[in-house]
Structure 1
Amino acid sequence: MRVLALSFLMLLGACATAPVPAPADNLDRIAADYVALILEIGEREPGYVDAYYGPPEWQAAAKANPREIPALADGAATLTARLNAVPMAGADAATVQRRKYLLAHVSAAAARLRMLSGETMSFADEAEALFGIRPELKPLSTYDPVLAEIDALVPGPGALTDRVTAFKADFVIPKNRLEPVISAAIAECRTRTAAHIALPANERFTLSFVGDKPWSGYNYYLGDAASRIEINADFPIHTERAIDLGCHEGYPGHHVYNALLERTFVTRRGWVEMSVYPLFSPMSFVAEGSANYGIDLAFPGDESMRYEAEVLAPLAGITDADFPQKARLGTLMRRLARAEYTIADDFLSGRVDRDATIARLAKYSLTTPDKAAQRLRFIETYRSYIINYGLGRDTVQAWVERQGPDHWAAMETLLSSQILPVDLVD
């Protein structure tokens, strides 16, 4: 009996000292570690984190002790392995999509870390690695017939770029009237959006005008359904651009997108991965594409032209301007948008120098050399990010319109989802 009793006591002691098994890994734990990874990359590359409204102590920890880039790359690889190891048997569609979304964003983060380590990629390879979709790069000669159509639309002596610039000068908003015109445009964009999408009750934004930026407008999402919208007033802003900026940066664009993601995922589900927005990620393709398509959604057909002529022009003090002609010009110029992908590819690869690139941008965007130089500054800063605007808009539009006749309902679904670029083309 003493032998049995001693054996039993030894067994109890062994059980008492045995390590407690670690809890099974799951998407919530991985998502928290993903947020830490993105915040730490943001400490290594300023501007990489476009928005963050998660626990402030996580951001403080990232600032206090960010890993070096090689360790971050190892962290991304570990996250990928952990995500692939999470069992999906019996998981609902939202959970399956959540893992797919995290995998895509960790993959983009890993690609960005390789770039920060010195790896170079072609323009198309980089775009696909970061944003999850591959752009087509067409020869610039593809766009020459569009230039010929514009040449016929805006006839006269002198270079085509000069003629277009002179024609559009009739629609420039005076700087002392920018605030009331832009504010009116944003208010109209909001009214049209709120008629179809239930916005958070506390959503709001502030508006300011800035200068010396590579972009024309920017939305800084602050969390709690609040944004700071900045407009670059360095260059002339035309009446149609007031509508573009109001929709793109505000309603139903970036402000609404971020507010709906926060409400849907962070507030209601506690999915912390959506509290951080890495700029160089598939999220940006959906964000920029939906923001640009939102302009057409809010102002279909000739409604933008009519609103410009009837409301914005009087506010801007513009009279006797040919708005129908400008609308026709805008339709043609939209067909030139992807020319800059080829131009950027040639410049970023070193095949074409700076001066020639500025000339190409001026020619194919029909703008002044100084404005083309600003666009080149954007390309140098954000590189293949430029695909998210034109290709993003067209891809989002095609997906929304495939969902059925209620385009606003489809848009709200997209803006409240973890839908990826690859899902938009499937």
Structure 2
Amino acid sequence: MTLGDGAIDYVNLVLAVGRHDANFVDAYYGPEAWKAVAEAGEPRPLAALRTEAQRLLEGLATISDGEAIRRDYLLGQLGAVEAHIARLQGHVFSFADEAEALYQVRPPVVPEATFDAALARLDQILPGSGSVQARYQQAREKVLVPVDRVDAVFQAAIAEARERTRRHATLPTTDHFRVEYVTGKSWSAYNWYQGGGSSVIQVNLDLPIAMDRALDLAAHEGYPGHHVYNALLEQRFARPEPEGRGWVEFTVYPLFSPQSLIAEGTANFGIEVAFPGAERLAFERDVLFPLAGLDPAEAERWARVQTEMKTLAFADNEAARGYLDGQLDRAQAEAFLVKYSLRTEAQAAQRLRFIDTYRSYVINYNLGEQLVRDWVNRQGGTIEQPTRRWEVFVDLISSPRLPKGLGL
């Protein structure tokens, strides 16, 4: 077996697994003939697909020539594919075991005392009296973007994020995206990469969008987040030589794989890279708040609230851990999210529906961001060195490195 042969078999295996799980293939822009074969007839049995994954893992592990980074990428991705097939067959993973098998990291337990401390700090920040949860929701009501102004705010946010990204990353000449507004989804927004430097970014209007989320979604789904990550990988690796390297494994993106920890972690950390500290506050206060018809005087306090919400974001992991490991029933998991993520009951129920579908994937947002930030800082990309920070960040989102390769 050569790396090239293994890569072709990997792509076709991922497409075949996608017949059993509609959420598995996040993007595909390889040969249409391969997709047609995968979609023809009855789905291949899971047992046969798992055997194929194991064959590829064994074969690729014996290859000593060629590029080690390519082999390691394929081995990491295939290990996750094999684990996901096992789960589809009925194998029951613990939350931590599943996260490690799919995303190459074992999420540490965050004690409730950490969340309680963040809530205590929020108690001092939020105005009014009553519970922190109620006061948080009252403060959030003041920064919700009216539905009829969502598009104007989102377009302004993504235009600024794109301009800032273009100063540091060479994007394809075909760089393009389209925004769609949807309902009935368990997620708040999604980037569907189409190949050829093009994406469809969908925003879920079922979930009211607070001002911080407008900029978060623009940067996370677009620039320098998912759209840029996929476009740079396609440009550098998937495109045929001499433009790229002709590595066909980058024409498919299996969602439940270690690639997702890098994708989600960089998409979240990329917000901070593009809009560091006071720059984010200034842009939201001076541009986005007025566009939304909101009071700019709310911007500074809301920014302080969001700093504490970074800690409370890890409550999603602990709710998912307890729920998926059977230590919390549905009502208890929703109550945990209400208490520690400050969601309403309806928002907590929506988040648990996300966990029903995507399970341990939730770690990729918060833990992924933390691990990526730490790695970039170790490479000298600190907030005090913004140019270096961009260099390290762009190098990461245009490389095939996975969490193990980064020592995460």
With 150-159 and 378-387 compared, the bigger mean Cα shift is at 150-159
Q: Secondary structure at the match of 2:181?
A: strand
Question: Structure 1 segments of 4 or more deviating over 6 A?
Answer: none
**In 1, distance between residues paired with 2:353 and 2:192?**
20
Question: Which whole-Å deviations, capped at 9, do the CAs of 1:319-358 have from their partners, x for residues lacking one?
Answer: 2542111111110111111122111111112221112211
1:10-409 alignment, distance < 5 Å: 25-65=1-41, 66-88=43-65, 91=66, 95-267=67-239, 268-319=244-295, 321-404=297-380, 405=385, 406-409=388-391
**Would you say the 8 A contact 2:290–2:296 is kept in 1?**
no
**In 2, distance between residues paired with 1:280 and 1:349?**
19
Q: Secondary structure at the match of 2:180?
A: strand
**In 2, distance between residues paired with 1:261 and 1:332?**
33
TM-score (norm 1): 0.91
With 176-185 and 79-88 compared, the bigger mean Cα shift is at 79-88
Give the gaps of 5 or more residues in structure 2: none
Q: Secondary structure at the match of 1:51?
A: strand
Q: Secondary structure at the match of 1:231?
A: strand
User: What is the letter of the counterpart of residue 290 of structure 2?
Assistant: P
Q: Secondary structure at the match of 1:100?
A: helix
**In 2, distance between residues paired with 1:388 and 1:35?**
23
Question: Which whole-Å deviations, capped at 9, do the CAs of 1:290-346 have from their partners, x for residues lacking one?
Answer: 000000000001111111111011111112542111111110111111122111111
**Would you say the 8 A contact 1:395–1:425 is kept in 2?**
no
| Post-superposition offset of 1:420 | 0.8
Question: Which whole-Å deviations, capped at 9, do the CAs of 1:69-103 have from their partners, x for residues lacking one?
Answer: 00000000110111022233xx4xxx101001101
> 1:413 aligns to what?
395
**In 1, distance between residues paired with 2:115 and 2:149?**
35
| Post-superposition offset of 1:155 | 4.3
| Post-superposition offset of 1:249 | 0.1
Q: Secondary structure at the match of 1:43?
A: coil
Number of aligned residue pairs: 397
Question: Which whole-Å deviations, capped at 9, do the CAs of 1:249-297 have from their partners, x for residues lacking one?
Answer: 0000000000000000011111000100000000000000000000000
| Post-superposition offset of 1:169 | 1.2
**Would you say the 8 A contact 1:249–1:291 is kept in 2?**
yes
| Post-superposition offset of 1:119 | 0.4
**Would you say the 8 A contact 1:170–1:321 is kept in 2?**
no
**In 1, distance between residues paired with 2:327 and 2:398?**
41
Q: Secondary structure at the match of 2:156?
A: helix
**In 2, distance between residues paired with 1:114 and 1:230?**
31
**In 2, distance between residues paired with 1:338 and 1:330?**
13
**In 2, distance between residues paired with 1:26 and 1:356?**
50
**In 2, distance between residues paired with 1:171 and 1:321?**
10
**Would you say the 8 A contact 1:395–1:424 is kept in 2?**
no
**Would you say the 8 A contact 2:168–2:390 is kept in 1?**
yes
User: What is the letter of the counterpart of residue 61 of structure 1?
Assistant: V
Question: Which whole-Å deviations, capped at 9, do the CAs of 1:363-391 have from their partners, x for residues lacking one?
Answer: 11112111111111111110000000011
Question: Which whole-Å deviations, capped at 9, do the CAs of 1:117-154 have from their partners, x for residues lacking one?
Answer: 00011101000000111110123233111111111211
**In 1, distance between residues paired with 2:218 and 2:110?**
31
**Would you say the 8 A contact 2:6–2:56 is kept in 1?**
yes
TM-score (norm 2): 0.95
**In 2, distance between residues paired with 1:278 and 1:364?**
31
Larger Rg: 1
